[in-house]
Chain A
Amino acid sequence: DTGVSQDPRHKITKRGQNVTFRCDPISEHNRLYWYRQTLGQGPEFLTYFQNEAQLEKSRLLSDRFSAERPKGSFSTLEIQRTEQGDSAMYLCASSLERMIDSPLHFGNGTRLTVT
């Protein structure tokens, strides 16, 4: 169990650029989640996958955000035409759906700064 890893740890981009983040979950975990956290707030749900199927996407999420989980392994989160309001910590987490008391295992996050 090497834990959940996210790449990159930090990303600085100019407004209007596209960015892509990667998450590698714990290998036997079938659920993968993306959350976003801004200062003073708790993590805000973005989307989650069960295996390769994207089961839910937040209605608050703009069409500029897209996520994939090909083959049910790693996941990518892409933000197109970034805006300053996209600056946040993007957290990935994974869990084992079969267990009622299965916690989320989080990565260290990707901190995005849009200038």
Chain B
Amino acid sequence: ILNVEQSPQSLHVQEGDSTNFTCGFPSSNFYALHWYRWETAKSPEALFVMTLNGDEKKKGRISATLNTKEGYSYLYIKGSQPEDSATYLCAFNAANAGGTSYGKLTFGQGTILTVHP
């Protein structure tokens, strides 16, 4: 059973604060690491799919880094806004023996972010 751990479980910040969360995943058989944002009453929405060690991706005020050798990814939000309030999920996609995607994603339990005005 693959273990994907996210921390912290929840986070309360003030509007304008910058924040970051961690996703830990197995350091072997890496294929891809996904980040999703899940707002209340909506469907999870993809933020990033990261595939290369050392990769950094950015989307507006949100960015992510990836370290496949040590098995972690960070998600950063700069200048948090109330509309950033959501659950942030990471998901690990393992490689099979042939080096291609095993198929399923294993999700962490999520980090619940609340941004107070």
Contact = CB atoms under 8 A, between A and B. Distances in A.
Nearest to A44: B107
Interface in A70-115: 91, 93, 97, 100-109
B107 to A, nearest CB: 4
Contacts, number: 62
Contacts of A108: 42-43
Nearest to A92: B43
A56 B94 CA distance: 14
B89 interface: yes
A104 B101 contact: no
Given A42-B89, A43-B89, A109-B43, A104 B105 contact: yes
4 cross-chain pairs, A with B, having the tightest CB-CB distances, nearest first = A103-B46, A42-B107, A106-B43, A101-B49
Interface of A: 4, 31, 33, 35, 40-45, 48, 50, 55-56, 91, 93, 97, 100-109
